C-alpha cells in the first residue's frame, strides 16, 4: 500500500463487515469504524495502528476519502446516510466516495443517489458494490465484489475494492448493475440452500444412512456448492455455523420484491421464501440456515439427520409407523437435478430480463456459491432455448422417473 493511503470510514462491523474492515487495516489503510453495537467497536480498536472508532456516522466520515457501508439492510442504511443530526451524507467532504457493499434492492441504490442530490450533495461519488463470500473470505480479502457505477468512480476506488476482493467484477449498465447481478446469484443460492435441506430431510425420514446419501449425492450430477457446504453441519453439529437464516431470508425477500415490481414470476424462489419465513416464525433466525431441515423432521427428532449418519433405520421415524417406500438416493438425486434445472430457468430468465450480460453472469455464478453441476452442464444448451426446459432430454427423463417413483 502507498505511504499515504486514503482514509476510510466503515459502517457495519458484523460477521462479514468486521473481517472486511480489519483486512483493510492490515493492508495499510487507516479505517474509522462505526457500529451501533459497542462490543464490535471495542474489538475493532484492538486491530492496532490504523483502526479507530466513532460514536456516530457523522463523526466517522469526517475527512475520509471513502465511506464503506456494510450494514444489514436498507432500513439500517437510511438513517446511517440521511439522519439529520448524525447522518454521514451531510458530513462527507467534497467528492468523497460512498461504496455500498450491503445487499439491497437495485431501486434503493437510485434512492441513495437521488436523496443525496436533494440534500445538496450531488458531488458524492456512489459505487453500487455488493459482496459475496462469507466471513472467512471477508477477513482474507478474497470476496467476490460486483461493482457498478460511473467508470471514473469505479477506477478511483479500484485500490480499495481490489484490497477486499479475490474477484472484482465490473458490472456494466451504471448504478444498480452490481445489485442486480448479486440478486441473480442469490436466486441460485436461495433455491439451492432450500433444496439441500429438503434432500437431507427426505433421506432422514426415509430411514437412509444420511452420510452415505450425502457422499453419493455430492459425487453425482445433482451436487451444488451449497449442498457440499451446508450438509456437513447437519451431519455433525460440532462443525459450527456458516450463515444465519436471517441473511438468506433477507436476500430472497429483496429478490421476490424486485421481481414483483417488474412483474416477473419466480415461483420456485417464492416457494423457498415461504420456507425461510417458516423458519423465522419458529425463532430460528439467528441459527445457521441449515436448520431449515427441521421443517421436514418430526419435532422430537430435530437431529435425525445427524443420528442417522452412518446408522440407517429400518423405518422412517419413531413417530410414524408409515415408512416412505420407494425413496432411494437416486430419487433424491432426480429431485435435486429437476430443481436445479428450474433454478437455471428462473434465474437466467430474470437475468436477461434485467439486461445483465449472461456470459458475465455465468462467470460469476460458476465461480461462487450459486454454482451447481447442472448449471455448468446445461447453461449453454438452455440458453439456446431461451432458458426453457422444452426438449431438454435430461429433464424429460427425470420427469418420467419421478412420476414412476410417485
Number of Cβ atoms within 10 Å of the Cβ of 325: 8
Asked if residues 343 and 226 have their Cβ atoms less than 8 Å apart, the reply is no
Asked if residues 284 and 291 have their Cβ atoms less than 8 Å apart, the reply is yes
Asked if residues 192 and 275 have their Cβ atoms less than 8 Å apart, the reply is no
Number of Cβ atoms within 10 Å of the Cβ of 211: 20
**C-alpha 210: how far from chain center:** 26
Out of 182, 250, 263, 314, pick the active-site residue.
182
Residue 133 Ramachandran class (φ > 0 left, ψ -120 to 50 alpha, else beta): left
Asked if residues 248 and 215 have their Cβ atoms less than 8 Å apart, the reply is no
Given the DSSP bridges, would you call strands 131-132 and 143-147 parallel, antiparallel or unpaired? antiparallel
Cα-based angle 397, 403, 406 (whole degrees, multiple of 5): 140
Residue length of the chain: 406
- Mark whether 182 is an active-site residue: yes
Please give the C-alpha separations between residue 393 and each of 292, 302, 378, 402, in angstroms, as whole numbers: 32, 38, 11, 14
Please give the C-alpha separations between residue 200 and each of 114, 145, 203, 333, in angstroms, as whole numbers: 46, 31, 5, 11
Asked if residues 9 and 32 have their Cβ atoms less than 8 Å apart, the reply is yes
Query: No. of H helices and E strands in the chain?
Result: 18, 9
Segment holding 82, helix H or strand E? helix 74-82
Asked if residues 273 and 252 have their Cβ atoms less than 8 Å apart, the reply is yes
Please give the C-alpha separations between residue 234 and each of 161, 223, 242, 253, in angstroms, as whole numbers: 35, 16, 12, 25
What is the distance between the alpha carbons of residues 68 and 128, in angstroms, rounded to a whole number?
11
Asked if residues 280 and 185 have their Cβ atoms less than 8 Å apart, the reply is no
The dihedral built from the CA positions of residue 323, 324, 326 and 331, taken in this order, carries a sign that is negative
- Bridge partner residues of 197 (DSSP): none
- Which residues are part of the catalytic machinery? 182
Amino acid at each position: 500500500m502507498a505511504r499515504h493511503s486514503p482514509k476510510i470510514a466503515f459502517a457495519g462491523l458484523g460477521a462479514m463487515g468486521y473481517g472486511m474492515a480489519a483486512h483493510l487495516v492490515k493492508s495499510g489503510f487507516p479505517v474509522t469504524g462505526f457500529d451501533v453495537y459497542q462490543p464490535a467497536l471495542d474489538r475493532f480498536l484492538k486491530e492496532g495502528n490504523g483502526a479507530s472508532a466513532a460514536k456516530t456516522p457523522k463523526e466517522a466520515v469526517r475527512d475520509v476519502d471513502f465511506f464503506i457501508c456494510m450494514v444489514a439492510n436498507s432500513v439500517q442504511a437510511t438513517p446511517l446516510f440521511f439522519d439529520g443530526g448524525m447522518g454521514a451524507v451531510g458530513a462527507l467532504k467534497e467528492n468523497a466516495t460512498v461504496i455500498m457493499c450491503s445487499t439491497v434492492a437495485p431501486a434503493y441504490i437510485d434512492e441513495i443517489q437521488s436523496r443525496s442530490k436533494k440534500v445538496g450533495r450531488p458531488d458524492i461519488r456512489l459505487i453500487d458494490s455488493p459482496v459475496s463470500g462469507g466471513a472467512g473470505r471477508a477477513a482474507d480479502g478474497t470476496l467476490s465484489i460486483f461493482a457498478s457505477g460511473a467508470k471514473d468512480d469505479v477506477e478511483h476506488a479500484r485500490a480499495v475494492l481490489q484490497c477486499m476482493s479475490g474477484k472484482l467484477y465490473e458490472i456494466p449498465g451504471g448504478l444498480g448493475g452490481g445489485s442486480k447481478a448479486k440478486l441473480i446469484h442469490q436466486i441460485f443460492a436461495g433455491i439451492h440452500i432450500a433444496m439441500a435441506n429438503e434432500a437431507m430431510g427426505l433421506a432422514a425420514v426415509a430411514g437412509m444412512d444420511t452420510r452415505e446419501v450425502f457422499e453419493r449425492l455430492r459425487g453425482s450430477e445433482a451436487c451444488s456448492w451449497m449442498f457440499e457446504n451446508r450438509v456437513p453441519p447437519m451431519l455433525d453439529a460440532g462443525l459450527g455455523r456458516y450463515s444465519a437464516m436471517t441473511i438468506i431470508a433477507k436476500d430472497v425477500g429483496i429478490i421476490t420484491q424486485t421481481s414483483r415490481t417488474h412483474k416477473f414470476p419466480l415461483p420456485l424462489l417464492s416457494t423457498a421464501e415461504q420456507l425461510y419465513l417458516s423458519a423465522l416464525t419458529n425463532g430460528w433466525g439467528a441459527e445457521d440456515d441449515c436448520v431449515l431441515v427441521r421443517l421436514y423432521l418430526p419435532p422430537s427428532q430435530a437431529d435425525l439427520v445427524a443420528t442417522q449418519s452412518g446408522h440407517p433405520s429400518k423405518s422412517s421415524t419413531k413417530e410414524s409407523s408409515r415408512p416412505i417406500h420407494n425413496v432411494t438416493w437416486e430419487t433424491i438425486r432426480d429431485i435435486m437435478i429437476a430443481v436445479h434445472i428450474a433454478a437455471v430457468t428462473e434465474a437466467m430468465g430474470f437475468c436477461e430480463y434485467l439486461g445483465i450480460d449472461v456470459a458475465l453472469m455465468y462467470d460469476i455464478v460458476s465461480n461462487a456459491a450459486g454454482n451447481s453441476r447442472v448449471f455448468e452442464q446445461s447453461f449453454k444448451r438452455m440458453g439456446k432455448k431461451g432458458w426453457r426446459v422444452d426438449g431438454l432430454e435430461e429433464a424429460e427423463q427425470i420427469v418420467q422417473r419421478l412420476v414412476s417413483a410417485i
